[in-house]
């Protein structure tokens, strides 16, 4: 178990940081270097680890709250669009609920 934990921190964590930075770099259309996002993620991870379980629990609470808020927001937006609440002249400007 100790070797698995060691390998996770040595190989998997840097891989995830690189993938996350490339994902965000995709949305910025390559205007910023991925190294900037890698540094930001690494600093955030270090800050969370400095506070131990309290920091991890707090981060987990807020990220769960963000995910739940996003899901509820997307459900509300989807319902409004299906009911015809979209902008005029676009696809969802009429009622789509019975199609």
What pLDDT does 88 receive?
87
pLDDT of residue 7: 87
How much is the pTM? 0.63
Do both 80 and 63 map to the same domain? yes
Q: Distance between CA 97 and CA 10 in Å, rounded? A: 51
pLDDT tens, residue order, the chain (99 aa):
899 989 888 998 889 999 999 898 888 887 888 899 999 999 998 998 898 888 889 989 999 999 999 999 999 999 998 888 888 888 888 887 776
Tokens 């629990």 label which residue?
A: 57
Residues 7 and 13: their CA atoms lie apart, in Å, by 9
* Total tally of structural domains belonging to the chain: 2
What per-residue confidence (pLDDT) applies to 18? 92
| Residue 35 and residue 8 share a domain | yes
Q: Are residues 59 and 92 in the same domain?
A: yes
Structural domain range at position 70: 52-99
Give me the phi and psi of 10, to 5 degrees please: -85, -40
Query: For residues 82 and 44, what is the distance between their CA atoms, to the nearest angstrom?
Result: 39
Predicted pLDDT of residue 27: 87
Assess whether 43 and 2 both reside in one domain: yes
Are residue 1 and residue 44 in the same domain, yes or no? yes
Residues 43 and 59 in one domain: no
Same domain, 19 and 3: yes
User: Six-digit token pair at 33?
Assistant: 């270097």
């Amino acid at each position: 178990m100790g070797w698995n934990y060691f390998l996770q921190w040595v190989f998997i964590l840097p891989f995830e940081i690189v993938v996350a930075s490339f994902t965000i770099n995709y949305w910025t259309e390559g205007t910023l270097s991925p190294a900037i996002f890698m540094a930001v993620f690494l600093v955030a991870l270090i800050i969370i680890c400095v506070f131990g379980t309290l920091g991890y629990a707090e981060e987990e609470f807020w990220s769960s709250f963000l995910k739940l808020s996003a899901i509820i927001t997307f459900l509300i937006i989807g319902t409004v669009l299906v009911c015809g609440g979209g902008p005029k002249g676009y696809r969802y400007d009429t009622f789509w609920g019975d199609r």
